[in-house]
Homo-oligomer: A and B are copies of this chain.
Amino acid sequence: MSPEEFRRHGHAAIDWIADYWASLDDLPVRAQVAPGDVRRRLPASAPEQAEPFDALLADLDRVVVPGLTHWQHPRFFAYFPANSSPAAILGDLLSSGIGAQGMIWATSPAVTEVEQVVLDWFAEALGLPDGFRSDSAGGGVIQDTASTATFTALLSALHRASGGVARVDGVGSEQWRVYGSTQAHSSLVKAAMMAGLGARAVRTVAVDPTTQAIDVAALRGAVVEDVESGLRPVMVHLAAGSTSTGAMDDVAAVAEAVREWDVWLHVDAAWAGVAAVCPEHRDFLAGVESADSFVTNPHKWLLTTFDCSTFWVRDRAALTGALSILPEYLRNAATESGEVVDYRDWHPQLGRRFRAIKLWAVLRTYGLEGLRAHIRSGIALAEHVAALVASDDRFEMVTEPSLSLVVFRLRAGDEQTLAAMEAVNASGEAYLSHTTVEGRAAIRLAVGSWRTTEADVDRTWRALQEAAAAEA
């Protein structure tokens, strides 16, 4: 592809995206395919000869679009959002074009330094403590996902708790214990499995049945009991916005409750954390200055195209202690001077693209004011949904709305609740997901897209009402 062809096809790709977005409102949100449908429309082997780039664009329309559930659709309310946005897309495009590989500072210094600056900016914007800034003993890094962030938090915790022994001798037969509530994200158990502790090392702590937040006394009781039995508490995972209902564990109370043991406090605010760009929505992070690590995903609600998970630690030596290795071919004067940070020691991967440009583009192109307006609009729409639920006797709220997440059900029962949701999803009109709260089925509606309007919410609500009527 010559430079001229790249310009031409590049402009066509940009236009394809703009057209795709414009078409979304008329497309069913959920893919209308059965297993194997997409695959059957593709040839069995790669082509021998080059094909024109337009052929790929044509196949996106012919094969891919019908097989997509459209996460950028204005009536996508399932899971948590994974917002893409114009600024992020173009930021990441520029990263691809630059094609720098920032495994260490020396392999392309701007990759590292822009990331440090952007993470400092973002920490300040969220009101995070100074101890997470790059000019402290801590610092931030962009992880691909919150799962990786939680995994690296656990590795750091093990490094610290073992006095550096784990990196050499492994986790051994020591009875390490990790704590999280019944509502902790499944990536906690996955992290324990990957780190060699096994799922059994995770002790699940009860939650308050109403708030779904961790029962702090029960947590303390579990730690005391374990310590008395000779087990070694290594990390407490706090959900600051749980996946199921957006429940907020009380960070300050937990920090206080486990203060006498040297356990690592990891705050998982994957979805909710970005709401802290609004000072009035920051209360749930009270106590975060006691946390050892904190993660939030701009790739969920903050307009930063997947993947971009911002992760901070208070003691970067624990993180790099767990992950550093220095082969000969990466030795260099800058690293040896200690004046720079080598991000390959901050995550499982070695190579890394210029991860920061897309978040940099988002922060600049929308400005903090624009981002606050985006968060506030999501929260206002969720309040609107809650009012709609309250206005219809057939429905009831399951938990208090949490930021832009609303969890509700049909009073008629679990079966009816799930059937109504499935009817809406199958119609393609909107897309919702389900959960279980205190043993009963519930519907989750998470607002988050920058393209969602009140009309989209109302239309979704009407579809739910019709489905509820059909179930009655």
**In the bound complex, do residue B170 and residue A200 qualify as a contact, i.e. CB atoms below 8 Å apart?**
yes
Query: Is A462 interfacial (CB 8 A cutoff)?
Result: no
The segment out of A84-92, A204-212, A257-265, A384-392 that lies at the interface is A84-92
0 or 1 for each of A88-105: is its CB under 8 Å from B? (1 = yes): 111111101111110001
Query: Is A417 interfacial (CB 8 A cutoff)?
Result: no
Q: List 27 A-B contacts (CB under 8 A).
A: A13-B94, A37-B113, A45-B121, A46-B124, A50-B366, A56-B361, A64-B114, A65-B110, A67-B113, A68-B100, A68-B110, A69-B109, A70-B100, A72-B99, A83-B99, A144-B349, A148-B348, A168-B198, A171-B196, A171-B198, A185-B327, A186-B326, A190-B348, A194-B348, A195-B195, A307-B352, A329-B433
**In the bound complex, do residue B97 and residue A20 qualify as a contact, i.e. CB atoms below 8 Å apart?**
yes
**In the bound complex, do residue A71 and residue B108 qualify as a contact, i.e. CB atoms below 8 Å apart?**
yes
Query: Is A360 interfacial (CB 8 A cutoff)?
Result: yes
**In the bound complex, do residue B190 and residue A109 qualify as a contact, i.e. CB atoms below 8 Å apart?**
no
The segment out of A3-11, A215-223, A225-233, A463-471 that lies at the interface is A3-11
**In the bound complex, do residue A190 and residue B323 qualify as a contact, i.e. CB atoms below 8 Å apart?**
yes
0 or 1 for each of A156-173: is its CB under 8 Å from B? (1 = yes): 001000000011111111
A413 CB to nearest B CB, Å: 17
List B contacts of A307 (CB < 8 A).
Answer: 349, 351-353
**In the bound complex, do residue B348 and residue A348 qualify as a contact, i.e. CB atoms below 8 Å apart?**
yes
**In the bound complex, do residue A194 and residue B197 qualify as a contact, i.e. CB atoms below 8 Å apart?**
no
**In the bound complex, do residue B113 and residue A97 qualify as a contact, i.e. CB atoms below 8 Å apart?**
no
Query: Is A82 interfacial (CB 8 A cutoff)?
Result: yes
0 or 1 for each of A31-74: is its CB under 8 Å from B? (1 = yes): 10101111100101111111101011100100111111111100
0 or 1 for each of A337-362: is its CB under 8 Å from B? (1 = yes): 10110000000111111000000110
Complex Cα distance, B142 from A138, in Å, reads 32
* Chain A interface residue count, Cβ-Cβ cutoff 8 angstroms: 154
A297 CB to nearest B CB, Å: 8
Q: Which of A16, A97, A113, A366 has its CB near the most chain B CB atoms (within 10 A)?
A: A97
**In the bound complex, do residue B109 and residue A31 qualify as a contact, i.e. CB atoms below 8 Å apart?**
yes
Closest to A64 in B: B110
Residues of chain A from 301 to 348 with CB closer than 8 A to chain B in the complex: 305-307, 322-323, 325-329, 334, 337, 339-340, 348
Query: Is A365 interfacial (CB 8 A cutoff)?
Result: yes
**In the bound complex, do residue B1 and residue A87 qualify as a contact, i.e. CB atoms below 8 Å apart?**
yes
A332 CB to nearest B CB, Å: 9
Query: Is A419 interfacial (CB 8 A cutoff)?
Result: no
**In the bound complex, do residue B306 and residue A351 qualify as a contact, i.e. CB atoms below 8 Å apart?**
yes
Closest to A366 in B: B50
Query: Is A17 interfacial (CB 8 A cutoff)?
Result: yes
Closest to A170 in B: B198
**In the bound complex, do residue A170 and residue B79 qualify as a contact, i.e. CB atoms below 8 Å apart?**
no
Given A113-B39, A125-B46, A168 contacting B199 (CB threshold 8 A): yes
Query: Is A224 interfacial (CB 8 A cutoff)?
Result: no
Complex Cα distance, B111 from A69, in Å, reads 9
A432 CB to nearest B CB, Å: 11
Query: Is A444 interfacial (CB 8 A cutoff)?
Result: yes
